[in-house]
Structure 1
Amino acid sequence: MNRTRLALATGGALAALAFTGAVAAPAVSDWWDGRHDEFDSYATGAAAKADRASVPRWLPDDAASVEYAMRTTGGDRALKAVLPSTAPPAGCAPLAADASRPTPALSTDLFPADAARKAAVRCGLYYAYVDGHTLYAWQDNRDWIKDNKAGSPH
């Protein structure tokens, strides 16, 4: 009789632990995956650059509604802003038709799903495009690592 109770109690405890793990694991996984991601919003490009040294200097000071995301453990960055014109910022160069276009690595709601396909220019280390007055730009960690090894001023 005692063995039956022990077996039932042990089975119940294991079932409760399995249920708790199944419920808690996704939340822990989401926290773990995003724990190094930071997001900020700024009224202007000047405010963003004043607050964070990692915001690219090519972003126009008069850009508005700036949304910025970065991973603190590498060079992944994401930037969305409203520009005063429909042209890319000064200093951006057209991407070659056969150039690689990495997908933004940060899981943000800043970009449309097909952003990588739309990349038309390089602004420093960022891949970017302008849709109307909205700039979408992202930096890939692999490019950042290569650039830092080369000692570039970006």
Structure 2
Amino acid sequence: MIRRSAVLITAAVLSAVGLAIVVALPAAADWYGNRHQETHAYATGAEAKSARASVPRWLADEAESVRYSIRTTGGDRLLKATLPDERLPAECTTEPRPKAQEVALKEDWFPKDARGKAAARCGLYYAYMDGTTLYAWQDNDDWLRAERAEPAR
């Protein structure tokens, strides 16, 4: 009887530990993968540019509802902003149509199918408009190439 109780208790403990691992591992993996990602929200483009030097200068000061996500260990960036009208910023070029890089960062506010919609290059960013909403992202590889091309200071 005592032996049977010990076996049942051991099985219950092992089941609980197994369940804890099954639940904890995905959460830990998610934390580990995203620990170098920061997301910020700003009322205007001017506020965003004032708060973070990495926000692109081509973003209009009067842009509203700015969302900005960065990977702190490289050049991956996401940007979403409401612009005053349905036009891309003047600094953006639409010809030739860019072959966009994959969007490396993930946010619930950034479209998963953005890559296929890229219509312009704004500096190092791929971008497109959806009404007055600007979606733009920067790829780490493009950023690294640009960093290597700059002369040493």
Q: TM-score, normalised by structure 2?
A: 0.88
Aligned length, in residue pairs: 152
CA–CA separation in structure 2 for the residues paired with 1:85 and 1:23: 46
How much is the aligned-residue C-alpha RMSD, in angstroms? 2.1
Matching residue of 1:136: 135
Map 1:1-154 to 2 at 5 A.
10-97=10-97, 99-151=98-150
Name structure 1 gaps, 5 residues minimum.
none
Partners of 1:82 and 1:134 within 8 A in 2: yes
Task: Give deviations 1:77-120, integer Å, cap 9, x for gaps.
Answer: 000001112111111111424x4212321110232232111111
Q: Report the secondary structure of 2:55's partner residue.
A: coil
Shift of 1:45: 0.3
**Inter-partner Cα distance in structure 2 for 1:18 and 1:130:** 47
Deviation at 1:3, TM superposition (A): 7.3
Question: Identity of counterpart residues, as a percentage?
Answer: 54
Distance 2:139 2:122 in 1: 12
Unpaired runs of 5+ residues, structure 2, are none
User: Is the 8 Å Cα contact of residues 79 and 110 (structure 1) preserved in structure 2?
Assistant: no
Q: Which amino acid aligns with 1:88?
A: L
Q: 1:130 to 1:79 in 2, by over 3 A?
A: same
